[in-house]
Structure 1
Amino acid sequence: MLTPEHGAPRRLSKSAILWRVAAIATMGSLGFGYDTGVISGALPFMTLPASEGGLGLTPVSEGAVASALIFGGAVGALCAGRLADRYGRLAMLKLLALLFAAGAIGSALAPNLWAMIAIRFVLGIAVGGASSIVPVFIAEVAGPKHRGRLVCQSELMVVSGQCIAYMTSALLAHLFDSPLTWRYMLAIALIPAALLYIGMNFVPNSPRWLVAKGRLSEAKSILRELRDCPHEADREAREIAQQCSREPHRASALRQLNQPWLIKLLLVGTGLGFVLQATGVNAFMYYTPIILKATGMGTHAALVATIGNGVVSVIAAALGMWLINRMGRRSMLLLGLAVVVLTQVFLGAVLNFMPASMAQSYLALGGILVFLFFMQMCIGPVYWVLMAEIFPTHSRGLMNGIAVGLFWVFNAIVAFAFPIAMALFGGMTFFLFAVVNIGSIIFCTLCLPETKGLSLEEIERLMQRTFGGTRQAGEASDKPVLGTPR
């Protein structure tokens, strides 16, 4: 039951219910993080010949195994978003939990390379679907004052999953001298999948999706369980119903996006995905050992140092949850991008102008950790919050799915191009990243409104005014300035 026990403090009980719902839903994000992080520890064992317990991977097939999940993520984000609009966020999260479980079991038992690639692609569908649906589900359940922090919890669970993957891989490799260790690493992903499936039986459906399907009474009942008082719940239900009444719920996918302001908004959402991936964050997450080995650091030391990436990311994401409702989305994003540019210039200078030495290794590692700290505190959480809140209710799943699907495509491009760029340009690659991210700062300054403190319906009206230059009947004529909440 969602209803708190009689006599419990009312406000605390409502907040506790919301945090519990978010904790259950973000088991999908934990699986997302674990499955993307564990491959770095499993690949060295998978390169062993089949006679020694591996899959005999070559550099090319290593890339195929690693990137299969990324391409599956693009497909999963696109398809899951559309299906979530039709069948509901709750039903899709249960389906994704089953895909996570099948992927965990299948990859742990994969008999050969082609089976592994196929199974990792299926697992990628689950990862991409979770990346698209989990933040949207939390945003639609939470109220304005809780939404930022609760959606940031999804990013915290992603980096926590990656950190757990790094530590688990190192621990298993140390404790068990077996070539089959990689299979146990991959099988552990079954745990968050099971927790997600079981937990989704104890959370409510999205009230906004219910209203969009004409189930207003159910939505009101859920909102009364989640809001501080019945008056607040009823007011929010009326606002959702009024906004939904203006929108073409039953339109086809193409007709949903036939308004110029929606196309502009989708381009901004897609641009934000490019901004995040153009920081090079996943190049660091996937290739930190390679970067450090180029400075002369040993293989084992580089693998242990990678754990630092996970620990710093978790701490930074937790701080991001605290900052998101204090600084606002736009200012956090711009701060993070500014520091990212500085750290990339620093890394370029260290790798280009210092001789290979322990000093160079530690300076490079320090630059990477500072980069990741501001990246995971200011940019990663803000991206997922914005993806969950800037799109209109009637096509949120579709538009979020397209934007996040392209985010995964950008991820794949960076993951594929980075080692090639490092081989061709060496440390100059980081100067290139810095130039691209200066462009990202300009884009976010010009195109991104502030959404802090607004309800999803208020954000929808703000986006329509900002990108359409129009206002709906009954709205005030004052247009909010970019970067300031109404």
Structure 2
Amino acid sequence: DKCLLKDGKFMMCVPGLTSGLVPMYIGEIAPKAYRGALGTLHQLAIVTGILISQVIGLDFILGNDGMWPLLLGLSGAPAVLQTILLPLCPESPRYLYIVLGKEQEARNSLYRLRGPYDATADVEEMRREKEEADKEARISILSLIRSSVYRQQLIVALMMHFSQQFSGINAIFYYSTSIFARAGVGQPVYATIGMGAINTVFTMVSVALVDKTGRRTLILAGLGGMCFCAVAMTVGLRFQNDYSWMSYVSMSAIFLFVSFFEIGPGPIPWFIVAELFSQGPRPAAIALAGCCNWTSNFIIGMTFPYIQGLLDVYVFILFAGLLLCFTVFTYLRVPETKGKTFEEIAAVFQKGKKKLAEAPKDHAELEQLKTSTDA
């Protein structure tokens, strides 16, 4: 993940392919008890890279007319290192067993990942998942969209990524310097770096909490907190010309907004998709969710200046309304996946479908009972 900060403007480019494959790989190799924490490390690596690039992109370091080619070239160093180290990473045990049917190779991969231990329980879980996977064909993106079997999971997965991007977080990231300048900050570039530091710290908090508190709880807390901060940000921007202390309200709201984002809505959508789907539809679901995420990112990046010009200081009220909707959706539709196997998570959605399927039948029975009683 490479970022540049030049002339106070923040730009970020995260390769779409790796942003989908890395969380999927982590989800498949991680022990059930630590799946959330390891999945959140993906986001921690991103925000750490952002913070480092913000610092070295300062004008007196590398972010100047003479040194920016070196700054750009440095982004290739992590890619070279990753290319060298990637062959040392073991193949996913779930892929080896469930897709290729190589049980012994899967066991060897588990031993490489976790050291000598009794892998019977993990192999048995993969065996059950393989039995279910063998009953279903390899699912393409188009088939996944059309399928009614995975519709609930797909809706939840896509809404998680919509909530991440349409929360307004990238509007703050991309235009943080101008937002801080408008809030009356003398050196907005340093405030932007401070925001990057908070970004990193609260991602660490998420790593520590996600397997204790749960995914659903952290997402609800994050979205609800961001909604409150968006309203506070609007109030601060609206009245900062009348009351000088309101600029502190605006700045505090921005920092808290970022903090709440990194507690849940930032890291969790990237790995929860891998938890919601079995081995068959998982690659297609992650590809679709990633496409949804980056398309939403592009829309926000391109349209925010025009929306801001139209709504002026009330621009974050729009995001507050969206965040409220996402919070309600998460409360009603997103299940808790903490500590559950992939089979158990799938069963949660199947149970919900059975309830929906039985509802018309129950209604018909009530009508029949009512008719017979009247008679």
Q: Is the Cα–Cα contact under 8 Å of residues 278 and 436 in structure 1 kept in the other structure?
A: yes
Distance change >3 Å, CA 192–CA 342, structure 1 → 2: same
Kindly indicate whether residue 345 of structure 2 is the aligned counterpart of residue 459 of structure 1: yes
2:207 corresponds to which residue? 321
Partner of 1:180: 66
**CA apart distance, 1:405:** 0.7
Answer yes or no: is the 8 Å Cα contact 1:265–1:467 preserved in 2.
no
CA distance in 2, matches of 1:177, 1:276: 29
Please show how residues 88-237 of structure 1 align to structure 2 within 5 Å. 127-170=15-58, 173-175=59-61, 179-210=65-96, 211-227=98-114, 228-237=117-126
Mark the CA change 1:422 to 1:194 in structure 2 (over 3 Å): closer, same or farther: same
Q: Which amino acid in the other structure matches residue 147 of structure 1?
A: R
CA apart distance, 1:203: 1.0
Q: 2:313 matched to 1:424?
A: no
* CA displacement 1:295-325 (0-9 Å, x = unmatched): 3334xx1011100111001100000011101
Judged with a 3 Å threshold, the aligned counterparts in structure 2 of structure 1 residues 312 and 468 are, in CA distance, closer, same or farther, namely farther
Distance 1:187 1:357, change over 3 A: farther
CA distance in 2 between counterparts of 1:421 and 1:253 reads 32
Q: Distance in 2 between matches of 1:363 and 1:319?
A: 24
The DSSP-based 3-state class of the residue aligned with 2:157 is helix
Can you list the C-alpha shifts for 1:371-423, whole angstroms capped at 9, x where unaligned? 11111112212222312211221121111111111111111111122222222
What SS class does the counterpart of residue 379 from structure 1 fall into? coil
In structure 1, C-alpha distance between the alignment counterparts of 2:258 and 2:154, rounded to whole Å: 27
Determine which of 300, 309, 331 is the counterpart of 1:414: 300
CA distance in 1, matches of 2:94, 2:294: 26
Aligned length: 354
- Give the superposition deviation at 1:258: 4.4
Q: Aligned-pair distance for 1:454?
A: 0.8
2:230 corresponds to:
344
Runs of 4 or more, structure 1, over 4 Å off, are 467-471
**Gap runs ≥5 in structure 1:** 1-30, 46-61, 70-123, 472-486
Shift of 1:468: 6.3
Q: 1:238 corresponds to which residue?
A: 127
Alpha-carbon displacement from aligned partner over 1:435-479 (angstroms, at most 9, x marks no partner): 1111111111111111110122322333333356599xxxxxxxx
Extract unaligned runs of 5+ from structure 2: 358-375
Instruction: Give the letter aligned to residue 218 of structure 1.
Output: E
- Partner SS for 1:450: coil
- Corresponding letter in the other structure for 1:410: S
**What is the DSSP-based 3-state SS (H/G/I as helix, E as strand, rest coil) of the residue aligned with 1:380?**
coil
User: Structure 1, residues 152-207: CA drift from partner, whole Å, max 9, x if none?
Assistant: 1001111111111111101xx21469513222222111122112111111111112
Equivalent in the alignment of 1:381: 267
Q: Write the distance in 2 (CA, Å) between the matches of 1:154 and 1:219.
A: 24
Counterpart Cα distance in 1 of 2:261 and 2:63: 36
Paired-residue identity, % = 27
Residue identity matched to 1:213:
L
Q: Distance in 1 between matches of 2:321 and 2:263?
A: 21
Shift of 1:333: 0.7
> Within 1, Cα distance between the matches of 2:241 and 2:274?
45
Aligned positions of 1:281-360 closer than 5 A? 281-298=169-186, 301-355=187-241, 359-360=245-246
CA pair 356-397 structure 1, distance change in 2 beyond 3 A:
farther
For residue 426 of structure 1, give the secondary structure of its aligned residue in structure 2: helix
Q: 1:443 aligns with which of 325, 329, 343?
A: 329
Distance 2:105 2:256 in 1: 47
Query: Does the 8 Å CA contact 1:220/1:237 hold for their aligned counterparts?
Result: no
Secondary structure in 2 aligned to 1:449? Answer: coil
Asked whether the 8 Å contact 2:62–2:70 carries over to 1, the reply is: no
Shift in alpha-carbon separation, 1:178–1:319, aligned structure 2, 3 A: closer
TM score, norm. by length of structure 1: 0.68
Alignment partners' CA distance in 2, 1:209 and 1:294: 51
How far, CA to CA, are the matches of 2:175 and 2:65 in structure 1?
Answer: 23
Indicate if the aligned counterparts of 2:273 and 2:285 stay in contact, CA closer than 8 A.
no
> Matched residues in 1 for 2:235 and 2:64: separation?
41
Tell me whether 446-455 or 385-394 shows the greater mean CA deviation.
Answer: 385-394
- The equivalent residue for 1:270 is 158
